[in-house]
Amino acid sequence: MRERKKPEDLRSARWFTPDDLRSFGHRSRMMQLGYGEEDFANRPIIGVLNTWSELNTCHAHFRERVQDVKRGVLQAGAFAVELPSLSVDESFIKPTSMLYRNLLAIETEEMIRCHPLDGVVLMGGCDKTTPGLVMGAISAGVPMIYLPAGPMLRGNYAGKPLGSGSDAWKYWDERRAGNISDAEWLGIQGGIARSAGTCMTMGTASTMTAIADAMGLTLPGASSIPAVDSEHQRMSAACGRRIVEMVWEDLTPDQIITEAACRNAAVVAMATGCSTNAVVHLIAMARRAGINLTLDDLDALGRITPLIANVRPSGKDYLMEDFYYAGGLRALMKQMEDRLDLSALTVTGKTMGENLQGAKVYNADVIRPLSNPVYEEGSLAVLRGNLCPDGAVIKPAACDPKFHVHQGPALVFDSYPEMKKAVDNENLEITPDHVMVLRNAGPHGGPGFPEWGMLPIPKALIKQGHRDMLRISDARMSGTSYGACVLHVAPESYIGGPLALLKTGDIVRLDLPNRRLDMLVDEGELAKRKAAWVAPAPRFERGYGHIFLQHVTQADKGCDFDFLETDFGRSAGEPEI
Ligand code: FES
Ligand code: MG
């Protein structure tokens, strides 16, 4: 750890200390806000980046919670300013929130860099907000602590627990099969999201906040605390107190986000059941930190890491509230201590090993011992083959094992509306052996890499009682989804990846044990199809979408913008004004 800072070394001192006209302006503007020099001079200025919005239902409590953070900052003798940040919500944004993760990352980096901030508290949680905020803050390089929104309470309808996303898909299939009345459907609609907080399955939000926790970016175990639990308020105040100390200690993100921290995060992600989205975000976060974490590294960990969090959708029975009562993430990490690098430094200023001391499992069915996992392995597998030379991912644990080795004829759709029409057709000619394919749904094609990858099972098969089939796309899927879905096919079809060459009726073969995904079409024929392929027009010709298409990397590289992937601290520098 570096030497303790003195007030004159603070970054904000550049704004407030000099006896010149510019600093006079800065000080007078603070006084305009009603603050005297005793409030802000010679004290760390802490930015609280708040991703609250009235359309971000998962962050509904952030409007009040920010006051708890500020309380903590003040208690520790510093000055807090709230900065509203781009609120990338998962529920309402079209075509997909993923389009805006990088915009949040850019905004975060730039708002930190241009303002007189010595440290930041990042308030996020809904899917893309965790990676967006963290990626930006890594590049900005000032001390930061991540404050996870926390999961919402368990859903409930008619005395039964309901899980975010997962139960929506499940009951929707039942409704399509004609098994659910309008009144029941309305009851489920009202019961599936009962409080502020993020989705309470182990979806993308819970996986990503667990990753931030395991990387050492949150107070220990903070990611498991339900949003509306009073412990969440106390944790928020503690974040405020701790960030001030981090500023004095000069505990910057480059000391925390090391190769060891990324590996710890990946191991923990696998043990929790790991949303497939985590793969894209984890790679992007690591690459921001100058660490080349690859799909193959994640596949290797997926093969040896047992899934021990019995939380849906990969686990069978429980939800995030149960996970918290069972001991939360600290307890899970304690169970697998010997697979983690306990020397990794964290925001507490202590090592991960020290943070885990005393953690206990209170319910061994929710957080399983390594000797009794939910699955021995299989949170995630990375496939390669002539359909996905740069990789594709699948969640073996979340699909019917009969599809682990499967061969069948492709039914290919070029767009979501075309696919939707077909799946709603009760007379569609399709067998359970068919392989449904949706293309033009990647970063360029979607556009923005939407969560369309859990293609609905065609009505024609639902009525026969089928609930799973092999599906392939260059899209992502929601972390709360399940089924035999191959996702993130790279390179994507819209830029000419081999998925663009597949035709309805071609035989596709998945061989999960050997990590292969191929179309059984001979090379001469594929070369002919490739020569005839014509690149479609870009999805955006102007605005942010245009920037996105110019610079987004493919799924295997994390979909960051190429120009943002820098090493720590390498920026254009701050002008001397
Ligand atoms: Fe926000 Fe799921 S919609 S976490
Ligand atoms: Mg989601």
Give the pLDDT of residue 155: 96
Return all residues near 502 (Cβ < 8 A) that are at least 6 apart.
387, 410, 412, 437, 439, 508, 519, 521
Ligand nearest to the Cα of 275, by number: 2
Q: Report, as an integer, the average pLDDT of 26-53.
A: 97
Query: What is the rounded average pLDDT for all residues in the chain?
Result: 95
What token pair was written down for 331? 């307890």
Query: Which pLDDT tens digit goes with each residue over 431-476?
Result: 999 999 999 999 999 999 999 999 999 999 998 999 899 999 999 9
Give the Cα separation of 293 and 304 in Å (integer). Answer: 17
Query: Which pLDDT tens digit goes with each residue over 136-176?
Result: 999 999 999 999 999 999 999 999 999 998 889 889 888 98
Q: Report, as an integer, the average pLDDT of 8-36.
A: 97
Give the pLDDT of residue 166: 85
Give the pLDDT of residue 324: 98
* Complete DSSP assignment for 435-477: EEEE-S-STTTTTS--S--SPPPPHHHHTTT-----EEESS--
The answer, yes or no, to whether any atom of ligand 1 lies below 6 A from the CB of 198, is yes
Using the mean position of ligand 2's atoms as its centre, give its distance from the Cα of residue 390 in Å. Answer: 24
Using the mean position of ligand 1's atoms as its centre, give its distance from the Cα of residue 88 in Å. Answer: 10
Give the Cα separation of 516 and 454 in Å (integer). Answer: 20
Give the phi and the psi of residue 437 in degrees, each rounded to 5. -125, 130
pTM: 0.96
Give the pLDDT of residue 328: 98
Give the pLDDT of residue 423: 95
Provide the CA 85 distance to its chain's centre, in angstroms: 17
Give the phi and the psi of residue 11 in degrees, each rounded to 5. -60, -40
The answer, yes or no, to whether any atom of ligand 1 lies below 6 A from the CB of 68, is no
Determine which residue's CA is closest to atom 3 belonging to ligand 1: 90
Q: Report, as an integer, the average pLDDT of 212-232.
A: 98
Using the mean position of ligand 1's atoms as its centre, give its distance from the Cα of residue 402 in Å. Answer: 31
Q: Give me the amino acid identity at 190.
A: G
pLDDT band at 573 (very low <50, low <70, confident <90, very high): low
Q: Report, as an integer, the average pLDDT of 315-328.
A: 94
* Complete DSSP assignment for 317-381: SB-HHHHHHTTHHHHHHHHTGGGS-TT-B-TTSSBHHHHHTT---S-TTTB--TTS-SBSS-S-E
pLDDT band at 1 (very low <50, low <70, confident <90, very high): low
Distances (CA, A) of 300 to 180, 270, 377, 459: 42, 11, 11, 37
pLDDT at 568 over 50: no
Return all residues near 164 (Cβ < 8 A) that are at least 6 apart.
152, 155, 192, 193, 199, 200, 201, 203, 480
Query: Which pLDDT tens digit goes with each residue over 353-367?
Result: 999 999 999 999 999
Distances (CA, A) of 295 to 110, 415, 553: 29, 27, 14
Q: Report, as an integer, the average pLDDT of 216-224.
A: 98
Q: Which of 198, 207, 481 to mutate to test the pocket of ligand 1 (most atoms within 8 A of CB)?
A: 198
pLDDT at 541 over 90: yes
Give the phi and the psi of residue 358 in degrees, each rounded to 5. 85, -5
Query: Which pLDDT tens digit goes with each residue over 265-281?
Result: 999 999 998 889 999 99
The answer, yes or no, to whether any atom of ligand 1 lies below 6 A from the CB of 205, is yes
Q: Which of 155, 180, 175 is nearest to 165 (CA)?
A: 155
Q: Say if residues 397 and 273 touch (Cβ distance below 8 Å).
A: yes
ipTM of the complex: 0.92
pLDDT at 49 over 90: yes
Give the pLDDT of residue 572: 53
Give the pLDDT of residue 576: 54
Determine which residue's CA is closest to atom 1 belonging to ligand 1: 126
